[in-house]
């Protein structure tokens, strides 16, 4: 009788407990573990013009605490360092209302953490409606 009860309890546990392996999804360890990245994953088209996308890209790099090494606003690229590796963020026009952001490693070695470009893309998606503003300071405000 005890064996039957134990068997029933074990059978119920096997069907009630959700297995931890074999699940698809992005978790933290997948974002911070270096892996081979596809070139297609490093590009994304946004519904914003190229000037505002450049500003959002710089803000995203800063918000993720990466180091900006060089900015070329005329050509639309930013070189930054993340996890001791240099990356090139290139912004190009697709049409008047869309621009494409491409984040590639400078050394063409696509073995790095995918969280670097995914976090930048996510920041831009979240702040897409926030346009850049000119802020003017008077002398009294800048001294405070």
Q: How confident is the model at residue 18 (pLDDT cuts 50, 70, 90)?
A: very low
**74, 80 contact by CB (below 8 A):** no
102's CB contacts (< 8 A; 6+ apart) are 42, 43, 89, 90, 91, 92
Per-residue confidence (pLDDT) for residue 16, from 0 to 100? 46
Q: Which residue has the higher pLDDT, 73 or 4?
A: 73
Determine the distance from the C-alpha atom of residue 126 to the mean position of all C-alpha atoms in its chain, rounded to a whole number. 11
Q: CA 118 to CA 44: how far, in whole Å?
A: 10
pLDDT tens track for 47-94: 999 999 999 999 999 999 999 999 998 889 999 999 999 999 999 999
Region for residue 86 given its phi and psi (left: phi exceeds 0; alpha: psi -120 to 50; beta: otherwise): beta
Question: Max CA-CA distance within the chain?
Answer: 88
| Mean pLDDT, residues 30-56 taken together | 90
Q: Tell me the per-residue pLDDT of 90-133, one tens digit each, with 9 for 90 and over.
A: 999 999 899 999 999 999 999 999 999 999 999 999 999 887 77
User: Could you state, in order of their start, the residue ranges of all structural domains in the chain?
Assistant: 35-129
Mean pLDDT, to the nearest integer, of 21-37?
64
Superfamily of domain 35-129: Kinase associated domain 1, KA1 (3.30.310.80)
The most confident of 15-29, 40-54, 126-140, by mean pLDDT: 40-54
């Amino acid at each position: 009788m005890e064996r039957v009860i134990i068997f029933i309890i074990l059978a119920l546990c096997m069907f009630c407990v959700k297995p931890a392996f074999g699940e698809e999804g992005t978790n933290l360890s997948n974002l911070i573990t270096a892996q081979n990245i596809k070139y297609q994953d490093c590009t994304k088209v946004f519904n914003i013009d190229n000037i505002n996308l450049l500003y959002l890209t710089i803000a995203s790099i800063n918000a993720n605490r990466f180091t900006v090494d060089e900015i070329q606003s005329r050509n639309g690229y930013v070189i930054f360092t993340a996890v001791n590796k240099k990356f090139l963020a290139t912004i190009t026009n697709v049409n008047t209302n869309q621009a494409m952001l491409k984040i590639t490693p400078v050394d063409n070695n696509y073995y790095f953490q995918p969280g670097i470009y995914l976090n930048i893309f996510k920041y831009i998606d979240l702040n897409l409606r926030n346009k850049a503003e000119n802020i003017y300071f008077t002398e009294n405000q800048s001294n405070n």
